[in-house]
Structure 1
Amino acid sequence: MTEQNLAKPPVELVRRALLAAGAEDTVLTLDQQVPTAEDAARILGCELAAIANSLIFEMDGEPLLILASGAARVDTSLVATLLGSSKIRRASPDFVSFHTGQEIGGVAPLGHPQPIRSILDESLAAHPRIWAGAGDHLSMFSSSYSELLRITGAEPLRVR
């Protein structure tokens, strides 16, 4: 993270990353926090399955971001096997903050200090509009599945 980026709020970094990727800035700042997928779906008026949770895992000492449907639990054994790793585990809050510059519950799939290997849950492709966190507990942005693949460089994968 550069000194200039340290002074920028995470949501501003997400907005800049969206624009730098050639995507539209669709970030919404909500009136109340949305720390869970259920909260986000209720406030946005969409299906729980159309919320993309940005979950950070640790795989072989490196961060792995899995954008999973809010209606799904990630099968870490399956994902580890598909990625050729012996094990992945949920990252600690400090690990998440260090690698994303964001806090758990508001992690975005982009706008991080350094690129993070990312996986996009294939089940999200069933939804024309997907909502993802935008860097804090009050912000979300919308995108399509194909656009999320493009702007995040994520690999499509079955996660459950």
Structure 2
Amino acid sequence: MSAVRDVENTLQELLDERAIVALALRYCKALDTKDWPALRTVFLDDATAQLGQPPMLAGVDAIVTRIREALEHLDDSQHLVGNHEVLVDGDAATHRCYLQAQHVRTAAAGGPNYIVAGRYEDRLTRTSQGWRIAHRTLTVMWTDGNVAVVRS
């Protein structure tokens, strides 16, 4: 009986890990398609976020507003994430991944491209709708290109 339980636990861990990585990919797709309602579904209503230099954001409305203001004026963006590390403990989890985000605004003086590279570190909670981010920290590791692209 214990072997069956071990297999069930391992299977659940793999399903949870896959669901959390899929959530990270949904986040990127929402950013790149400017689908703000979809972005809301990635976070808990009372989520917090530290997204670079701005102060701590509290609540999904503040998080979506901050991201929308940063990306809405762009012609395009492409957020790539990889090297996912997921640790699940019951209905709580942590997730860490690296990112590279290309930002494009063709009318920007000084060139149309700006790249941000860094990592996301998340605390997640299992809900009846699936995993949701309770807190996200973005740590910028390096940038390249024309910073004027991302300034409105």
Larger Rg: 2
Bigger relative CO (Cα 8 Å, ≥ 6 apart):
1
**Structure 1 or 2: more strand by fraction:** 2
Q: Tell me the TM-score range normalised by the shorter chain.
A: under 0.3
Give the structure-2-normalised TM-score.
Answer: 0.26
